[in-house]
Protein backbone atom coordinates (compact mmCIF):
# COMPACT_ATOMS: atom_id res chain seq x y z
CA UNK A 1 0.00 0.00 0.00
CA UNK A 2 1.42 3.42 -0.87
CA UNK A 3 1.55 6.50 1.36
CA UNK A 4 -1.55 8.16 -0.11
CA UNK A 5 -3.70 5.09 0.42
CA UNK A 6 -2.52 4.63 4.00
CA UNK A 7 -3.08 8.31 4.81
CA UNK A 8 -6.56 8.37 3.30
CA UNK A 9 -7.62 5.19 5.08
CA UNK A 10 -6.28 6.41 8.40
CA UNK A 11 -8.10 9.77 8.09
CA UNK A 12 -11.29 7.90 7.19
CA UNK A 13 -11.01 5.70 10.30
CA UNK A 14 -10.16 8.67 12.52
CA UNK A 15 -13.26 10.52 11.32
CA UNK A 16 -15.52 7.57 12.11
CA UNK A 17 -13.93 7.25 15.55
CA UNK A 18 -14.28 10.96 16.19
CA UNK A 19 -18.02 10.87 15.47
CA UNK A 20 -18.34 7.53 17.32
CA UNK A 21 -20.00 5.33 14.70
CA UNK A 22 -20.50 1.82 16.06
CA UNK A 23 -20.11 -1.21 13.82
CA UNK A 24 -23.51 -2.35 15.10
CA UNK A 25 -25.22 0.60 13.38
CA UNK A 26 -26.97 0.17 10.07
CA UNK A 27 -25.66 2.68 7.53
CA UNK A 28 -27.25 3.48 4.20
CA UNK A 29 -24.70 4.90 1.75
CA UNK A 30 -26.16 7.47 -0.66
CA UNK A 31 -24.53 6.31 -3.89
CA UNK A 32 -24.46 8.76 -6.78
CA UNK A 33 -22.25 6.67 -9.07
CA UNK A 34 -19.44 9.21 -8.56
CA UNK A 35 -16.01 8.65 -6.99
CA UNK A 36 -16.70 10.03 -3.51
CA UNK A 37 -19.70 7.96 -2.46
CA UNK A 38 -18.15 4.86 -4.10
CA UNK A 39 -15.04 5.28 -1.93
CA UNK A 40 -17.25 5.73 1.16
CA UNK A 41 -19.07 2.44 0.46
CA UNK A 42 -15.84 0.61 -0.37
CA UNK A 43 -14.10 1.67 2.84
CA UNK A 44 -17.06 1.26 5.18
CA UNK A 45 -17.52 -2.28 3.88
CA UNK A 46 -13.79 -3.04 4.16
CA UNK A 47 -13.69 -1.83 7.75
CA UNK A 48 -16.59 -4.11 8.70
CA UNK A 49 -19.56 -1.71 8.88
CA UNK A 50 -23.11 -2.90 8.16
CA UNK A 51 -24.02 -1.04 4.96
CA UNK A 52 -26.54 -0.99 2.13
CA UNK A 53 -26.63 1.29 -0.90
CA UNK A 54 -29.31 3.78 -1.96
CA UNK A 55 -29.36 5.37 -5.40
CA UNK A 56 -31.70 8.04 -6.68
CA UNK A 57 -32.12 7.65 -10.42
CA UNK A 58 -32.55 11.29 -11.43
CA UNK A 59 -33.38 10.41 -15.05
CA UNK A 60 -30.97 12.96 -16.52
CA UNK A 61 -30.53 11.10 -19.82
CA UNK A 62 -27.33 9.17 -20.58
CA UNK A 63 -25.57 10.62 -17.52
CA UNK A 64 -28.06 8.97 -15.16
CA UNK A 65 -27.94 5.68 -17.09
CA UNK A 66 -24.18 5.57 -16.62
CA UNK A 67 -24.47 6.43 -12.90
CA UNK A 68 -26.97 3.65 -12.33
CA UNK A 69 -24.75 1.15 -14.16
CA UNK A 70 -21.73 2.06 -12.01
CA UNK A 71 -23.73 1.90 -8.78
CA UNK A 72 -25.05 -1.56 -9.69
CA UNK A 73 -21.53 -2.77 -10.49
CA UNK A 74 -20.19 -1.38 -7.21
CA UNK A 75 -22.91 -3.02 -5.10
CA UNK A 76 -22.29 -6.32 -6.83
CA UNK A 77 -18.55 -6.00 -6.26
CA UNK A 78 -19.05 -5.19 -2.56
CA UNK A 79 -21.86 -7.71 -2.20
CA UNK A 80 -24.24 -5.20 -0.65
CA UNK A 81 -27.94 -4.61 -1.14
CA UNK A 82 -28.98 -1.73 -3.39
CA UNK A 83 -32.20 0.27 -2.98
CA UNK A 84 -33.33 2.26 -5.99
CA UNK A 85 -35.56 5.33 -6.14
CA UNK A 86 -36.82 6.36 -9.57
CA UNK A 87 -37.56 10.10 -9.60
CA UNK A 88 -39.77 9.83 -12.68
CA UNK A 89 -41.92 7.10 -11.16
CA UNK A 90 -42.16 8.63 -7.70
CA UNK A 91 -42.40 12.34 -8.55
CA UNK A 92 -43.89 12.27 -12.01
CA UNK A 93 -40.92 13.55 -14.01
CA UNK A 94 -37.15 13.48 -14.28
CA UNK A 95 -34.96 16.00 -12.45
CA UNK A 96 -34.42 18.12 -15.60
CA UNK A 97 -38.13 18.79 -15.95
CA UNK A 98 -38.69 19.30 -12.21
CA UNK A 99 -35.79 21.74 -12.11
CA UNK A 100 -36.94 23.85 -15.05
CA UNK A 101 -40.49 24.00 -13.72
CA UNK A 102 -39.21 25.11 -10.30
CA UNK A 103 -36.86 27.69 -11.83
CA UNK A 104 -39.64 29.04 -14.03
CA UNK A 105 -41.89 29.45 -10.99
CA UNK A 106 -39.15 31.01 -8.86
CA UNK A 107 -37.94 33.16 -11.77
CA UNK A 108 -34.48 31.59 -11.96
CA UNK A 109 -33.36 32.79 -8.53
CA UNK A 110 -32.59 29.24 -7.39
CA UNK A 111 -29.59 27.44 -8.85
CA UNK A 112 -29.82 23.97 -10.39
CA UNK A 113 -27.65 22.28 -7.79
CA UNK A 114 -29.53 23.85 -4.88
CA UNK A 115 -32.85 22.55 -6.22
CA UNK A 116 -31.51 19.06 -6.83
CA UNK A 117 -29.79 19.10 -3.41
CA UNK A 118 -32.99 19.96 -1.52
CA UNK A 119 -34.99 17.27 -3.34
CA UNK A 120 -32.28 14.62 -2.88
CA UNK A 121 -32.05 15.33 0.87
CA UNK A 122 -35.83 15.06 1.23
CA UNK A 123 -35.93 11.74 -0.67
CA UNK A 124 -33.00 10.30 1.29
CA UNK A 125 -34.39 11.14 4.71
CA UNK A 126 -37.88 9.82 3.97
CA UNK A 127 -36.83 6.66 2.13
CA UNK A 128 -34.00 5.75 4.47
CA UNK A 129 -36.23 6.17 7.53
CA UNK A 130 -38.42 3.45 6.02
CA UNK A 131 -35.38 1.18 5.86
CA UNK A 132 -34.85 1.56 9.63
CA UNK A 133 -31.27 2.75 9.26
CA UNK A 134 -29.27 4.60 11.91
CA UNK A 135 -27.31 6.82 9.53
CA UNK A 136 -27.14 8.06 5.96
CA UNK A 137 -23.54 8.32 4.70
CA UNK A 138 -22.72 10.71 1.86
CA UNK A 139 -19.57 11.35 -0.14
CA UNK A 140 -19.11 15.06 0.75
CA UNK A 141 -15.39 15.78 0.90
CA UNK A 142 -13.02 18.52 2.17
CA UNK A 143 -13.34 20.53 -1.07
CA UNK A 144 -17.17 20.43 -1.02
CA UNK A 145 -17.26 21.54 2.60
CA UNK A 146 -14.70 24.34 2.14
CA UNK A 147 -16.70 25.55 -0.89
CA UNK A 148 -19.98 25.56 1.01
CA UNK A 149 -18.51 27.42 3.97
CA UNK A 150 -16.93 30.08 1.71
CA UNK A 151 -20.16 30.47 -0.27
CA UNK A 152 -22.10 30.99 2.97
CA UNK A 153 -19.56 33.59 4.14
CA UNK A 154 -19.69 35.39 0.77
CA UNK A 155 -23.47 35.44 1.01
CA UNK A 156 -23.22 36.92 4.49
CA UNK A 157 -24.84 33.87 6.10
CA UNK A 158 -22.14 31.87 7.92
CA UNK A 159 -24.86 30.53 10.22
CA UNK A 160 -25.95 28.26 7.34
CA UNK A 161 -22.76 26.30 8.00
CA UNK A 162 -23.30 26.08 11.76
CA UNK A 163 -24.64 22.53 11.65
CA UNK A 164 -22.15 21.17 9.19
CA UNK A 165 -19.53 18.69 10.27
CA UNK A 166 -18.67 15.04 9.78
CA UNK A 167 -22.04 14.31 11.46
CA UNK A 168 -25.17 16.47 11.46
CA UNK A 169 -25.59 18.25 14.76
CA UNK A 170 -28.43 19.73 16.72
CA UNK A 171 -31.12 17.95 14.79
CA UNK A 172 -32.27 15.20 17.11
CA UNK A 173 -35.73 14.19 16.04
CA UNK A 174 -37.27 10.76 15.59
CA UNK A 175 -38.10 11.50 11.96
CA UNK A 176 -34.68 12.85 11.09
CA UNK A 177 -31.94 10.37 10.10
CA UNK A 178 -28.49 11.70 11.06
CA UNK A 179 -26.15 12.14 8.11
CA UNK A 180 -22.46 11.31 8.26
CA UNK A 181 -19.66 12.44 5.95
CA UNK A 182 -16.69 10.09 6.40
CA UNK A 183 -14.66 12.02 3.76
CA UNK A 184 -15.17 15.38 5.49
CA UNK A 185 -11.42 15.85 6.08
CA UNK A 186 -10.18 14.28 2.82
CA UNK A 187 -9.21 16.25 -0.30
CA UNK A 188 -11.01 15.52 -3.56
CA UNK A 189 -7.84 14.89 -5.55
CA UNK A 190 -6.76 12.16 -3.11
CA UNK A 191 -10.19 10.51 -3.29
CA UNK A 192 -9.99 10.53 -7.09
CA UNK A 193 -6.56 8.86 -7.13
CA UNK A 194 -7.69 6.34 -4.52
CA UNK A 195 -10.79 5.37 -6.51
CA UNK A 196 -8.60 4.82 -9.58
CA UNK A 197 -6.02 2.78 -7.69
CA UNK A 198 -8.75 0.53 -6.31
CA UNK A 199 -10.36 0.34 -9.78
CA UNK A 200 -13.80 1.15 -8.39
CA UNK A 201 -16.66 1.38 -10.90
CA UNK A 202 -17.16 5.15 -11.07
CA UNK A 203 -18.72 7.65 -13.46
CA UNK A 204 -16.09 10.43 -13.59
CA UNK A 205 -18.30 12.70 -15.74
CA UNK A 206 -19.76 15.81 -14.11
CA UNK A 207 -23.54 16.14 -13.93
CA UNK A 208 -24.63 18.03 -17.09
CA UNK A 209 -27.02 20.09 -14.95
CA UNK A 210 -24.29 21.36 -12.59
CA UNK A 211 -24.50 24.98 -13.69
CA UNK A 212 -24.43 26.66 -10.30
CA UNK A 213 -22.24 29.61 -11.26
CA UNK A 214 -21.55 30.75 -7.69
CA UNK A 215 -20.23 27.33 -6.70
CA UNK A 216 -18.19 27.06 -9.91
CA UNK A 217 -16.59 30.44 -9.18
CA UNK A 218 -15.70 29.44 -5.61
CA UNK A 219 -14.49 26.00 -6.77
CA UNK A 220 -12.16 27.65 -9.29
CA UNK A 221 -10.73 29.86 -6.56
CA UNK A 222 -10.23 26.90 -4.21
CA UNK A 223 -8.55 24.86 -6.95
CA UNK A 224 -5.67 27.29 -6.65
CA UNK A 225 -5.31 26.71 -2.92
CA UNK A 226 -3.46 23.86 -1.21
CA UNK A 227 -5.01 21.04 0.80
CA UNK A 228 -3.54 22.70 3.92
CA UNK A 229 -5.40 25.92 3.14
CA UNK A 230 -8.66 24.01 2.63
CA UNK A 231 -8.04 22.28 5.96
CA UNK A 232 -7.55 25.70 7.52
CA UNK A 233 -10.96 26.81 6.21
CA UNK A 234 -12.58 23.77 7.81
CA UNK A 235 -10.65 24.26 11.06
CA UNK A 236 -11.95 27.82 11.16
CA UNK A 237 -15.47 26.56 10.59
CA UNK A 238 -15.14 24.11 13.47
CA UNK A 239 -13.72 26.81 15.75
CA UNK A 240 -16.48 29.32 15.12
CA UNK A 241 -19.48 27.04 14.60
CA UNK A 242 -20.17 26.51 18.31
CA UNK A 243 -20.42 30.30 18.66
CA UNK A 244 -22.72 30.68 15.65
CA UNK A 245 -24.97 27.82 16.74
CA UNK A 246 -26.01 29.54 19.98
CA UNK A 247 -27.66 32.31 18.01
CA UNK A 248 -29.29 30.01 15.55
CA UNK A 249 -30.64 26.94 17.29
CA UNK A 250 -33.92 26.18 15.61
CA UNK A 251 -36.31 23.48 16.65
CA UNK A 252 -37.46 21.10 13.96
CA UNK A 253 -41.16 21.08 13.17
CA UNK A 254 -43.04 18.84 10.76
CA UNK A 255 -43.99 20.13 7.32
CA UNK A 256 -47.72 20.83 7.06
CA UNK A 257 -47.81 19.30 3.58
CA UNK A 258 -45.57 16.24 3.60
CA UNK A 259 -45.04 15.61 7.34
CA UNK A 260 -41.24 15.54 7.00
CA UNK A 261 -38.94 17.35 9.46
CA UNK A 262 -38.67 21.04 8.60
CA UNK A 263 -37.40 24.31 10.06
CA UNK A 264 -40.49 26.20 8.95
CA UNK A 265 -44.19 25.30 8.68
CA UNK A 266 -43.61 24.15 5.10
CA UNK A 267 -40.37 22.37 4.20
CA UNK A 268 -37.99 23.62 1.51
CA UNK A 269 -38.85 20.76 -0.84
CA UNK A 270 -42.60 21.50 -0.64
CA UNK A 271 -41.99 25.24 -1.08
CA UNK A 272 -39.96 24.51 -4.21
CA UNK A 273 -42.33 21.87 -5.56
CA UNK A 274 -45.33 24.15 -5.22
CA UNK A 275 -45.15 24.63 -8.98
CA UNK A 276 -48.72 24.15 -10.17
Q: Which residues lie near Zn ion (CB under 5 A)?
A: 255, 257-258, 267, 270
- CB 256, min distance to ligand AMP, A: 27
Q: Nearest distance from residue 215's CB to ligand AMP, in Å?
A: 9
Which CB, 47 or 265, lies closer to ligand AMP? 47
What three-state secondary structure class fits 250?
A: coil
The CA distance from 139 to 125, in Å, is 16
Residue 270's binding partner among Zn ion, ligand AMP, none (Cβ under 5 to 8 angstroms by kind) is: Zn ion
Q: Which of 6, 39, 45 lies closest to 192 in space, CA to CA? A: 39
**Burial group, residue 106, by CB count within 10 angstroms (0-12, 13-18, 19+):** middle
Q: Which is nearer to Zn ion, 60 or 124 (CB)?
A: 124
| Chosen from ligand AMP, Zn ion, none, partner binding at 55 (C-beta under 5 to 8 Å by type) | ligand AMP
258 — phi, psi (to 5°)? Answer: -110, -10
| Residue 87, binding choice from ligand AMP, Zn ion, none, Cβ under 5 to 8 Å by partner class | none
User: Do 146 and 230 touch, CB atoms closer than 8 A?
Assistant: yes
> How many whole angstroms separate alpha carbon 191 and alpha carbon 116?
23
Where do the H-state alpha helices sit in the chain?
3-18, 35-46, 61-78, 87-91, 95-105, 112-130, 142-154, 188-197, 213-223, 227-248, 268-273
CB 242, min distance to ligand AMP, A: 25
CB of 31 or CB of 237, closer to ligand AMP: 31
**162/267 with CB nearer Zn ion:** 267
* Least distance from ligand AMP to the Cβ atom of residue 262, Å: 20
Residues at the contact surface with ligand AMP, assessed by CB under 6 A: 30-32, 36-37, 54-56, 58, 117, 120, 138-140
| Residue of 16, 20, 259, 267 whose CA lies nearest to 129 | 259
Min dist CB 217 to ligand AMP, Å, is: 16
Closer CB to ligand AMP, 219 or 241, in the complex: 219
> Nearest approach, Cβ of 88 to ligand AMP (angstroms)?
13
What DSSP state is assigned to residue 167? B
CA distance 216 to 207: 13
32 contact choice in Zn ion, ligand AMP, none (CB below 5 to 8 Å, kind-dependent): ligand AMP
Q: Residue 267 touches which of Zn ion, ligand AMP, none (CB < 5 to 8 A by kind)?
A: Zn ion
Give CA–CA dist 35/63, Å, rounded: 14
The nearer residue to ligand AMP, 208 or 242, going by C-beta atoms, is 208
Amino acid sequence: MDKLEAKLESKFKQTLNKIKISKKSKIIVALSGGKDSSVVAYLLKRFGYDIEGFHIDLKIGKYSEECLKKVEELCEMLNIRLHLYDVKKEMGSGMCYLRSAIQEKHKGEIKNCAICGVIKKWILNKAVRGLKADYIATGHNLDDEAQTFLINILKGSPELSANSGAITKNLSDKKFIPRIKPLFYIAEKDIKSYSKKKKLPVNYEKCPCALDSYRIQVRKFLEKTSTKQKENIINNLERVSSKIKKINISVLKYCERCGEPSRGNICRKCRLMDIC
